[in-house]
C-alpha cells in the first residue's frame, strides 16, 4: 500500500507531465531550449521577490518569468545582440540576482536545494488542484492557439500573410511557458524544469508522424517518466526530482535503439512536415 504523500506526488507529477508535453514540442520545433533555461533560471528571482515583499510564490515566479519574456522580445527587436547572447545574459543575470537577494535577506531561512531541484514528495492537495487546474487551462490555450503556433513555427512569413499574427502567438506561448514554470518549480525545481520540457518531446519526435501525434506522445512519455522516476526513487532512495529526469533520459536512450523501417519512414515524414 502506497503512502498518501507518494500518491499525491504521482498525481501531481503526471498532471505536470501532461502539460509540459505539448509545450516541449514547440520548444523542440522552434529550437528554443536555451529560452526554456532562461525562463527557469528567472524563477529564483521570483522566489527572492516573493520573500522580500511577502507575495504568493507562484504569482511572483510567473510575473518575473513573463517580464523576462517581454524584455527578451523588446531587446530582440532592437537587434543589438543575437538571440542566444541575449538569452545567456538574461539567464545568468536573473539567476545571480536572485541568489544575491536571498543572501542579503539574512532574516529568511530557505532551502535553496528544494527550489533548485524540487521536492515533489512535499506537494499538498491544494498544489494538486493548482497543477491540474492550471494545466487544463494551459492545454485548452494550446489547442486554441495550435494553428497559429504551428504555422508561425513552420513559416512565420507565411503565417503573417495568412493573418495568423505569429508575433502574438509567440507572446502567448511565452506566457504559457511562464505559467508552467511557476507551477513546475515546486515539483522538479528550477534546474530541472527544462529537462522535463525537452526530453519527453525529443523522445516522442522519433515515433511521431504528425505534430499532433508528437504532442500526445510527449505527454504520455513524460507521465511514464514521472511514474518510473518516482518508483525508482522509492526503491533506490534517490532524490525524486532528479530521478524523474533520469527516467526520462532512459526512455530517450531507449528510443535511439534501432527501429523498424516503417517507424523510420514515419519519422522522415514528420521531419518533412515540421520543415
Give the predicted TM-score (pTM) of the model.
Answer: 0.87
Give the residue carrying C-alpha cell 538571440.
83
pLDDT tens digits, one per residue of 178-237: 999 888 887 778 777 888 899 999 999 988 889 999 999 999 999 999 999 999 999 999
The number of CA neighbours under 13 Å toward the Cβ of 192 is 27
- Torsion sign over Cα 203, 32, 247, 20: negative
Q: pLDDT band at residue 112, thresholds of 50, 70 and 90?
A: confident
Answer whether 46's CB lies under 8 Å from 63's CB.
yes
Give whole-number Cα distances, 254 to 182, 199, 248, in Å.
Answer: 30, 12, 10
In this predicted structure, the answer to whether residue 140 has a pLDDT above a threshold of 90 is: yes
Q: How far is CA 220 from CA 22, 164, 274, in A?
A: 10, 29, 21
| 4-274 CATH fold | ABC transporter involved in vitamin B12 uptake, BtuC (1.10.3470)
In this structure, what is the dihedral angle of CA atoms 47, 48, 49, 50, given to the nearest 10 degrees? 50
Amino acid at each position: 500500500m502506497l503512502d498518501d504523500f507518494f500518491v499525491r506526488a504521482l498525481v501531481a507529477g503526471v498532471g505536470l507531465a501532461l502539460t509540459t508535453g505539448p509545450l516541449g514540442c514547440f520548444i523542440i520545433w522552434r529550437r528554443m531550449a536555451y529560452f526554456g533555461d532562461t525562463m527557469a533560471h528567472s524563477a529564483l528571482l521570483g522566489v527572492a521577490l516573493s520573500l522580500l515583499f511577502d507575495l504568493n510564490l507562484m504569482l511572483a515566479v510567473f510575473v518575473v518569468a513573463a517580464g523576462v519574456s517581454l524584455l527578451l522580445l523588446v531587446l530582440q527587436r532592437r537587434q543589438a545582440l543575437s538571440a542566444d547572447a541575449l538569452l545567456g545574459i538574461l539567464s545568468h543575470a536573473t539567476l545571480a540576482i536572485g541568489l544575491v537577494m536571498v543572501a542579503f535577506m539574512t532574516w529568511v531561512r530557505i532551502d535553496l536545494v528544494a527550489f533548485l531541484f524540487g521536492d515533489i514528495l512535499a506537494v499538498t492537495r491544494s498544489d494538486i488542484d493548482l497543477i491540474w487546474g492550471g494545466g487544463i487551462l494551459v492545454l485548452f490555450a494550446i489547442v486554441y492557439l495550435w494553428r497559429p503556433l504551428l504555422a508561425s513555427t513552420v513559416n512565420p512569413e507565411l503565417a503573417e500573410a495568412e493573418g495568423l499574427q505569429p508575433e502574438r502567438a509567440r507572446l502567448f506561448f511565452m506566457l504559457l511557458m511562464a505559467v508552467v514554470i511557476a507551477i513546475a518549480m515546486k515539483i522538479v525545481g528550477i534546474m530541472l524544469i527544462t529537462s522535463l520540457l525537452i526530453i519527453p518531446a525529443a523522445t516522442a519526435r522519433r515515433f511521431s508522424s504528425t505534430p499532433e501525434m508528437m504532442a500526445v506522445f510527449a505527454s504520455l512519455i513524460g507521465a511514464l517518466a514521472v511514474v518510473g522516476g518516482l518508483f525508482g526513487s522509492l526503491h533506490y532512495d534517490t532524490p525524486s526530482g532528479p530521478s524523474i529526469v533520469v527516467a526520462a533520459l532512459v526512455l530517450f536512450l531507449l528510443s535511439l535503439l534501432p527501429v523498424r523501417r516503417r517507424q523510420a519512414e514515419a519519422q522522415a515524414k514528420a521531419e518533412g512536415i515540421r520543415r
